[in-house]
Amino acid sequence: MRSVIVADSEAMRPDARAWFRGRTTSASSLAAIDVEALLAAKRRSGTGVSVVLPARDEEETVGRLVADIAERWMHRDRLVDELVVVDSDSTDATAAVARAAGADVVATADVLPAHGTRPGKGEALWKSLAATTGDVVVFLDSDLQGDVGHFVPGLLGPLLADPQVQYVKGCYTRPLEIDGVSVPSGGGRVTELTARPLLNALWPELAGFVQPLGGEYAGRRSALERVPFAGAYGVEVGLLVDLLELVGLGALAQVDLGERRHTSQSQEALGAMAGQVVATVLARAGSSLDAAGLLTQFRHDGTAFVPRSTAVALDERPPMLTVPEYRARAAGLAG
C-alpha cells in the first residue's frame, strides 16, 4: 500500500498535535539552559533530585558520564543531590569504575533482596526507586557518547518549571554507528520499526513522542512509584503507556536534547529487544495472545539455518508503592 504523506498541518490527531506543540521544549545545549533559574526553582520548591544510571557491562563509558555529572551538577552547581549507578549483573569493572568516578553504586541483587533479583534493565530501574530518595528521578543510559552535560538540566527543566508535569522524555536525533562507520541518522531502530507503529496504532495520543523508547527521561517519584515496571527492555514503553493512563497526556512532556549517540547493539540483539517491547505492548493492549513466550531467530552456519530462541515473556514488577519495605523506608525518611 503506497504511503500517503500527510501535510504537517494535518499531521497527528488533534490531541497529539496540540500536545506536541504545547509540551515540547528545547534544551539542545548548555547555552540554551538557564541554570540559575533551574537552581532557584529547585531551591524554591525544595525538590530533591536523584540521577540513576542503569549499567550492565559499561566500564568503557560509565566513568566519564558519572564524573561529568558529579563535577557539573553536584560539585559546581548543586542541581543533583544523589547520583546512583545500578550495577545490573555486570561482568566487567563497571561498579569499580563508577564508584571511582564519584557515583554511589548498588547491585540490583542487593536492593530489596527479599524480592529476589531478575535480569534486565527494567529490574534495575525498578530497584533504583528503592535505592534513591529524590522527589524527582532522572534516568540516563550508561553507554552515552559525546557531550551530554546538558541532558540532566534539560530533563529537569519542565519538571522544575511546571508542577503539573509528572514525566519528561528526552528526544534527539540518533546517528547510528555500525562497525565503526557512523551515519547521521538511522539509530532508534526498534523505535522506528516496532514501537512507533504499535503506539500510533494503539495509543495515537502518544504519536507526538519523538523518542518513546529513549533511555533518557525524568519523573516525579510520586508517579513512578505508582506504576509497574516492565522487565528487561519493555520498561520504557511500559512506563509511557502506564503513565499516560495514570497522569494523562497533559502531565507528560518531552525536551529536545539535540543529538544522542550510544553504543549500538546488533540487529539480532535488537530483535530480542523488539520482542520484549511487543510483549509489553500486547499485555497493555489487553491482548489475549500468548505474548509471554519465546522469540525464535535464525543464524546460518554456512550449511543450514540454526534456530535460536530468547525469552520475551512479560515479566514485570508491581508499583513500588505496594512493596512494604519501600513504604516503611519512605515513612522513615519522612520522619
Ligand X SMILES: O=C(O)[C@@H](COP(=O)(O)O)O[C@H]1O[C@H](CO)[C@@H](O)[C@H](O)[C@H]1O
Ligand Y SMILES: O=c1ccn([C@@H]2O[C@H](COP(=O)(O)OP(=O)(O)O)[C@@H](O)[C@H]2O)c(=O)[nH]1
Q: Which is nearer to ligand Y, 50 or 142 (CB)?
A: 142
Give how far the C-alpha of residue 204 lies from the chain's centroid of Cα atoms, to the nearest Å.
20
End-to-end, the C-alpha distance of the chain in Å comes to 62
Amino acid at 188: G
Q: Which is nearer to ligand Y, 33 or 98 (CB)?
A: 98
Please give the Cα distance from 75 to 289 (Å, whole number): 51
Q: Is 310 in the site for ligand Y (CB under 6 A)?
A: no
Q: Which is nearer to ligand Y, 23 or 56 (CB)?
A: 56
Write the DSSP symbol of residue 102: T
Q: Which is nearer to ligand X, 187 or 258 (CB)?
A: 187
Amino acid at 10: E
User: 142 is in the binding site of which of ligand Y, ligand X, none (Cβ under 5 to 8 A by kind)?
Assistant: ligand Y
Please give the Cα distance from 334 to 314 (Å, whole number): 34
Please give the Cα distance from 285 to 202 (Å, whole number): 7
Piece of 29-37, 70-78, 110-118, 210-218 that binds ligand X (CB under 6 A): 210-218
Q: Is 270 in the site for ligand X (CB under 6 A)?
A: yes
User: 228 is in the binding site of which of ligand X, ligand Y, none (Cβ under 5 to 8 A by kind)?
Assistant: none
Closest CA to 95 of 140, 55, 45, 144: 55
User: 58 is in the binding site of which of ligand X, ligand Y, none (Cβ under 5 to 8 A by kind)?
Assistant: ligand Y
Write the DSSP symbol of residue 57: S
Please give the Cα distance from 262 to 267 (Å, whole number): 15
Q: Is 281 in the site for ligand Y (CB under 6 A)?
A: no
Q: How far is the CB of 224 from ligand X (least distance, A)?
A: 16
What element of type H or E holds 127? helix 121-130
Q: Is 280 in the site for ligand Y (CB under 6 A)?
A: no
User: 143 is in the binding site of which of ligand Y, ligand X, none (Cβ under 5 to 8 A by kind)?
Assistant: ligand Y
Binders of ligand Y among residues 46 to 65 (CB under 6 A) are 54-56, 58
Q: Is 132 in the site for ligand Y (CB under 6 A)?
A: no
Amino acid at 108: T
Here's the x/- map for ligand X, 39-68, by CB under 6 A: it reads as ------------------------------
Closest CA to 202 of 177, 155, 238: 238
Q: Which is nearer to ligand Y, 157 or 215 (CB)?
A: 215
Binding residue for ligand X (CB under 6 A) from 154, 187, 238, 271?
A: 187
Binding residue for ligand Y (CB under 6 A) from 18, 24, 28, 119?
A: 119
Copy the grid coordinates of residue 123.
529490574
Dihedral sign computed on CA atoms, order 140, 145, 149, 155: negative
Q: Which is nearer to ligand X, 25 or 265 (CB)?
A: 265
Closest CA to 142 of 235, 216, 219: 216
Q: Is 271 in the site for ligand X (CB under 6 A)?
A: no
Q: Is 262 in the site for ligand Y (CB under 6 A)?
A: yes
Q: Is 315 in the site for ligand X (CB under 6 A)?
A: no
Under a CB-based contact definition with an 8 Å cutoff, are residues 264 and 273 in contact?
no
By CB under 6 A, name the binding residues for ligand X: 121, 141, 174, 176, 187-191, 213-215, 233, 236, 264-265, 270, 273
